[in-house]
Amino acid sequence: MSDSYDDSENDYENEDRHKHKKIGKVESNICKLISGLAHDTTRSEHISNLQVLVDVLEHDLPSMKANIMQLIFHFTLKNCLKLSSYVTLIGLLNLKNSDFGQDMIKMFCNKLQEFIDNGDYNDAVYVMIVLSDLVNANVINYKSILDLFESITNFIITDDCKQNRGDYLLYIILVSLPTIGKTLHIKDSLRLYSFLSNIEEYMESRSRLNLELFRVWSIDYLIPEEDVLDCVWNQVKLFWKKENWIDDLNLIEKPYSSFTVELDTSVQHDIESLKIGKESETVTTAVNFMHLFEPKKLLPISFKIFDSTDVESMGKALPGNHSITRFILSWQVRYIIKSNFDNKKACSIALVNQFDSNVKISHYHIVVEILFEILFSEHDFDRNVEIIVASMIIEICKLQPKTLHHIVAYSVHDIMNKMNNMSISCIERFVKWFALHLNNFQVKWEWEEWIKFVIPSEERTNFTLSYVAIRELINNLTDLSFCDKINKDLSQEYQSLMIQTRDSVDICDELDEEKMKIVEDIKKNFRNKTDMSYFKSLVNDAADFETIAGIFVTTLLRFSDKTISFTISAISKYFPIFKIIASHEKGENTILNSLFFIWKNNNQIIEILIDKLIKIEVLTCLNVITYLFTVDPNEMARFYVWRIFNNSIKKMICHVMSQYCIYEACIDDYSKCMKTKEAYVTAYDSLNSLFIRCFSLFNYTHEHGVHVDGFIDYLELRFKNFLKRYMHYIAYLPKSDISECLQDNEKYFKYYETVMNLLDIKI
């Protein structure tokens, strides 16, 4: 009996294993078929593929409904350029099985709710477009989608909804309107236009502080800047009022139109109501500080370079900035770039292949424009976006050299001519990108055009932004290549901006005979690998500590200047001496003075070594930042100084994050928790002190610093950039401390108030 039982159990297991293997194979085949809808085919092949897929899925629905739903949802959001194909598939399956259609709608609605609750607005946009398109495929009742739109807009205009959130919720609706506008116009135009009138009222009354803070240009040019919501609204409004919801170029795919007769007989479903809760008010303390690392999302700025007159010579047209064609093409380009952000080759191929070459629209202008929009985005400071954009532009130039080189050259020319009115952070990104770009093309450019920006004149100072940009560009090119090559390639007018050598400075010319003896003695002991006690006594017993400490650090840096790794190794070896020096009152300043003196010709080395010295806790972030405000004003205009400034703050923020993670890991152990919490709170307080000190330093330098021509205006640009970059941390500092730091500096305090108002924080 026992043997019989074992045999039957084994038979069952084998049968079950075989069944699962079979299901796995079936699911794999279904997965391939569903994903295949996203592949480019002719329209007739596409329709045929849809019909075959519907027959296959209908057969497997009873046994694999949940799997099929999940696969369709996954590939719909993964292939947003082919949304309408998956919408058609859902429509045809709803025709065969209305319960399936109802369940798919429920899944999309639940995901929409989840994305909005979590602030994942980009994903919420895609889901809303799908729901809107399902109305076109006769799966969702048009009244239901209007109910959804109206419920969201009604929430937006209430006092419970802050503008940052309301703008994104409205953006989700506006982006979906080109898909469904024509259907709603036919079905219920009265209700549609009543709803659009409410949106128009909101748009007229909303604040535009985000535009004031994040715009690329400080003044309006031929193409005025606007934020993304204004841009999309103007595009939708033109599509509605002037074009009557008609897409002349058929850029919005509608494969379901081939099944109109069949789909008209299908069962329509209603959408579940969306529950949008009030945004929680969080009082920030050290214990709940971590939510600042996922700060509030603010709408970006819609960046435009080109208008229709810029492409006339190419025999192609460029849609107007507010045309629906420009909206659709820009949306497609953004999606392709976002989907392939880490794969430059796949991205460039997709951008080239996406658009029909027969269409008389210069979509490459839009591609370049969107890449610059990404480059100049003020919401993403720490990603190396310049490298990503540079690699993408280079790859596209390889595929379309005749067209792209001309467009990129025009863009650079236009940006350089407007440089004096550009945001300082955008200039930094532009310079880094352009240096990378030129380095890949042997630094070949029409440099003669820019001589006007560097020659001395009454209007030009060392802080004029066009002059600063070209100086930093040449500096970056030197970092990426050889000084001799750059000096050879550029004309005489640029010689004053060029660095003749990247080598360290020889200290012999700066010291008297007595100090030179000390230098030679230190070098001799370095070579002989003398015991550490000698160097400790040299520093500790010095009558003039600052002088001897400075000589030691300077000699060490000069002695180990062969390579950067050799220098870092030397610092690590003599780490105890550095700690002794840093422990004195002005010890950190002594180290920094020596570092800036020895490597004044190579700011890359300065950045790397300061980063290392902060990491091994020889230097503190606070003292590094304080020191930066004591350097010569002309040196403060150098970008590397502000990279060190931002890197020091970033390191302090990372330290707080690290302490928080340690605290959170032992939250269940009371004794450990109290110790780690204390360390975390201390780190958090130190970060607050660092920000307060930054306010004081900016204000003091503004009021009492050396007033060189143009320096105060440049410092204001840097202060604005500081506020924008760290607004989510600064927002919770006590107002009284900020007021005390800024004292009577009304201009700086006004900038601060603007940021607080943008974040909806009462100060």
CATH number of the domain where residue 326 is located: 1.25.40.180
Question: Are 372 and 446 part of one and the same domain?
Answer: yes
Question: Are 27 and 116 part of one and the same domain?
Answer: yes
Dist. CA 311–CA 696, nearest whole Å: 50
In a domain, 690, yes or no: yes
Q: Find out whether 454 and 494 touch, Cβ atoms under 8 Å.
A: yes
pLDDT at 280 over 80: no
Select from 224, 253, 273 the last residue of a domain.
273
Question: Are 240 and 372 part of one and the same domain?
Answer: no
Question: Are 324 and 411 part of one and the same domain?
Answer: yes
Dist. CA 651–CA 686, nearest whole Å: 12
Dist. CA 105–CA 109, nearest whole Å: 6
Confidence (pLDDT) at 6 = 44
Q: SS3 of 302, please?
A: strand
Question: Are 159 and 29 part of one and the same domain?
Answer: yes
Going by pLDDT thresholds of 50, 70 and 90, the confidence category of residue 296 is low
Question: Are 571 and 651 part of one and the same domain?
Answer: no
pLDDT above 70: percentage of residues in the chain: 92
- pLDDT one-digit tens code per residue, 542-569: 889 999 999 999 999 999 999 999 999 9
**DSSP β-bridge partners for residue 226:** 302
Dist. CA 519–CA 240, nearest whole Å: 79
Which H, E and C letters describe 240-301, residue by residue?
Answer: HHCCCCCCCCCCCCCHHHHHHHHHCCCCCECCCCCCCCCCCCCCCCCCCHHHHHCCCCCCCE
pLDDT at 8 over 50: no
Handedness of CA 250, 256, 258, 264 (dihedral sign): negative
What is the pTM assigned to this prediction? 0.91
C-alpha dist (Å) from residue 423 to 176, 629, 694: 32, 21, 20
Q: Find out whether 38 and 72 touch, Cβ atoms under 8 Å.
A: no
Question: Are 365 and 336 part of one and the same domain?
Answer: yes
Select from 469, 497, 525 the last residue of a domain.
497
Question: Are 206 and 335 part of one and the same domain?
Answer: no
From 15-19, 288-292, 369-373, the region with the lowest mean pLDDT: 15-19
Confidence (pLDDT) at 569 = 96
Contacting residues for 695 by C-beta, under 8 A, at least 6 apart:
737, 738, 741, 742
Average pLDDT over residues 183-195: 95
Question: Are 492 and 549 part of one and the same domain?
Answer: no
- Count of residues in the chain: 763
- pLDDT one-digit tens code per residue, 570-584: 999 999 999 999 999
Tell me, rounded to whole angstroms, the distance of Cα 227 from its chain centroid: 16
Average pLDDT over residues 703-719: 90
Question: Are 31 and 174 part of one and the same domain?
Answer: yes
The domain in which residue 465 lies consists of: 303-497
pLDDT at 697 over 80: yes
Total number of domains in the chain: 4
In a domain, 9, yes or no: no
Which H, E and C letters describe 317-377, residue by residue?
Answer: ECCCCCCHHHHHHHHHHHHHHHHCCCCHHHHHHHHHHCCCCCCCECHHHHHHHHHHHHHCC
Going by pLDDT thresholds of 50, 70 and 90, the confidence category of residue 513 is confident
Contacting residues for 23 by C-beta, under 8 A, at least 6 apart:
63, 64
Select from 475, 497, 519 the last residue of a domain.
497
Which H, E and C letters describe 105-154, residue by residue?
Answer: HHHHHHHHHHHHHHCCHHHHHHHHHHHHHHHHCCCECHHHHHHHHHHHHH
In a domain, 622, yes or no: no
Dist. CA 184–CA 339, nearest whole Å: 31
Going by pLDDT thresholds of 50, 70 and 90, the confidence category of residue 3 is very low
Average pLDDT over residues 390-402: 93
Measured N-to-C along each axis, helices 639-665 and 670-704 cross at an angle, to the nearest 10 degrees, of: 160
Question: Are 583 and 710 part of one and the same domain?
Answer: no
Q: Find out whether 414 and 306 touch, Cβ atoms under 8 Å.
A: no
pLDDT above 90: percentage of residues in the chain: 64
Question: Are 493 and 508 part of one and the same domain?
Answer: no
Tell me how far apart the terminal alpha carbons of the chain are, to the nearest angstrom.
82
- The pLDDT mean for the chain works out to 88
Average pLDDT over residues 385-400: 93
Dist. CA 316–CA 403, nearest whole Å: 12
Angle (CA) 251-257-262 rounded to 5° is: 165
Measured N-to-C along each axis, helices 621-628 and 670-704 cross at an angle, to the nearest 10 degrees, of: 10
Contacting residues for 301 by C-beta, under 8 A, at least 6 apart:
210, 211, 214, 215, 216, 225, 226, 227, 228, 373, 376, 377, 378
In a domain, 607, yes or no: no
Going by pLDDT thresholds of 50, 70 and 90, the confidence category of residue 42 is confident
In a domain, 296, yes or no: no
In a domain, 8, yes or no: no
Average pLDDT over residues 500-517: 84
From 139-143, 321-325, 538-542, 704-708, the region with the lowest mean pLDDT: 704-708
* Residue among 202, 307, 316, 180 at smallest CA distance from 252: 180
Going by pLDDT thresholds of 50, 70 and 90, the confidence category of residue 313 is low
Average pLDDT over residues 133-157: 95
In a domain, 608, yes or no: no
Dist. CA 647–CA 381, nearest whole Å: 11
Dist. CA 588–CA 682, nearest whole Å: 22
Q: SS3 of 678, please?
A: helix
214 compared with 621, residue with greater pLDDT: 621
In a domain, 424, yes or no: yes
pLDDT at 293 over 60: no
Average pLDDT over residues 375-392: 82
pLDDT at 137 over 90: yes
- pLDDT one-digit tens code per residue, 55-71: 999 988 988 999 999 99
Contacting residues for 321 by C-beta, under 8 A, at least 6 apart:
223, 231, 304, 307
Average pLDDT over residues 414-428: 95
